[in-house]
Structure 1
Amino acid sequence: MGIVHPGSELTPTKAELLAAWLPQQSWWPRDAAVPDFQANFRFDDPAGEVGIETFLLPVGNGIVQVPLTYRSEPIEDAVLVGELEHSALGHRWVYDGPSDPVYVAEATRVIREAGAEVTMLRPDGTPIPRRPVTAAVRGSGTGGGNLQVARVLPAEAPDDATGVLHATWAEQPEPRVLAWLT
């Protein structure tokens, strides 16, 4: 379950971090502005230490998928998106999800176990009603091997994929492939 701290302030904001980082990425569409997100979803770190959130951004005729992780301590060998101050949680290091072992393990688990996005909760355990921008995510319940994340959607899993992660959201009622195992 994802714990959310309603009313928290982030400095810089997630949008500001992405606006600075995304244009530098080889998979980001050249000269594209960073738009507001169209949908998002969260996975859960079983240890409760790492926040895992994915943004789906409309760019041109497609969607760009940006998985992020939020950590209270820096880690080595992961791609740093930036740092921010969270008014409830303190200093956070923000990483590109596919470079963070916790994201990779959790996305792989969701695919293998036919998992889904998490239910969002307040710190006291009260469920937060599902928002219209929350994507519905589902793993295939099959697979093994290495996680591959589609950055630009639509995407298709290769023929040798052993498991797939799909999502739908308000603007995309037909399932889209987000990631797969090979």
Structure 2
Amino acid sequence: MALLHRATLRPSKLELLASWLPGRPWYQGPADADVVTRGSYRFDDPAGEVGLETILVGVADGPVHQVPLTYRGAPLDGADEWLVGTTDHAVLGPRWVYDGTADPVYAAVLAHAILGGAGQAEEYFEVDGRREPREQNMTIAGSGAGDAGMPVVGPVRRVVDGDAALIITDAVELVVVRRPVEGAVGAEGANLSGTWKGQPTAVPLAYARVR
């Protein structure tokens, strides 16, 4: 379960992404374009410390780009090159926003979502002491068989960024599809697929292979 706050972020997520995306090797679009959200989904951090949100963004009629983000209350050691930016959350205070491909918490929950078949987190707003469900704008599904034999993912050893971002850990190799499209040639292993408004047919979003 993801418990959200109706709070202002300065700068906003999309403002951070508009500045950060043009520097990525897999980004396709003008450097000064306004980015818009096509859909998003969240995972739960079992420890409840790190926010985990994947946003699908695009520009005008351009391709959809998949950007996993992690939100932390303090800097992540050794991850400066993966910092998307910092923002001030009206409730939680300063937040460090990272490209999730380099965050070990994201790697662990992504592996669980794919190999264990875990779905996305249910999202709620907390309003006056009660929880109000937030309507989800994406549906995702993992092809894994369940939790039996789930490996311990451990730290991220290496990230090879590109159209398909490769995340290497001791136990699992993960692939995040940066520009998910229907009919794309997939990687080996179990997969995470998703649908969103304008994309009613499920397309691969990520893959996992036990090493």
TM-score by length of 2: 0.78
Deviates most, 35-44 or 140-149: 140-149
**What does 1:1-182 correspond to in 2, within 5 Å?**
1-6=1-6, 8-29=7-28, 31=30, 33-59=33-59, 60-78=61-79, 79-123=82-126, 124=129, 126-131=131-136, 134-142=137-145, 145-154=172-181, 155-158=184-187, 161-182=188-209
CA displacement at 1:129 relative to structure 2? 3.5
Gaps of 5+ in 2: 152-171
CA distance in 2, matches of 1:157, 1:163: 10
Aligned sequence identity (%): 40
Secondary structure at 1:38's aligned position in 2? strand
Secondary structure at 1:105's aligned position in 2? helix
Query: Cα deviations across residues 48-100 of structure 1 (Å, max 9, x unaligned)?
Result: 00001111123455311011000001012331000000001010000001111
CA distance in 2, matches of 1:42, 1:9: 19
Change (3 A) 1:148 1:89: same
Rg larger in structure: 2
CA distance in 2, matches of 1:163, 1:127: 33
CA distance in 2, matches of 1:83, 1:76: 15
CA distance in 2, matches of 1:95, 1:172: 27
CA distance in 1, matches of 2:134, 2:84: 29
Instruction: Report the equivalent of 2:155.
Output: none
| 1:18–1:34 Cα contact (<8 Å) kept | no
| 2:28–2:62 Cα contact (<8 Å) kept | no
**Aligned letter for 1:103?**
Y
CA displacement at 1:157 relative to structure 2? 1.9
Gaps of 5+ in 1: none
**Aligned letter for 1:36?**
V
Query: Cα deviations across residues 17-58 of structure 1 (Å, max 9, x unaligned)?
Result: 001111011111153534211111111111100001111123
TM-score by length of 1: 0.90
Runs of at least 4 residues off by over 6 Å? none
What root-mean-square deviation, in Å, do the aligned CA atoms of Structure 1 and Structure 2 show?
1.8
Secondary structure at 2:40's aligned position in 1? strand
Instruction: Report the equivalent of 2:159.
Output: none
Secondary structure at 1:152's aligned position in 2? coil
For these two proteins, the number of residue pairs brought into alignment is 177
Change (3 A) 1:157 1:34: farther
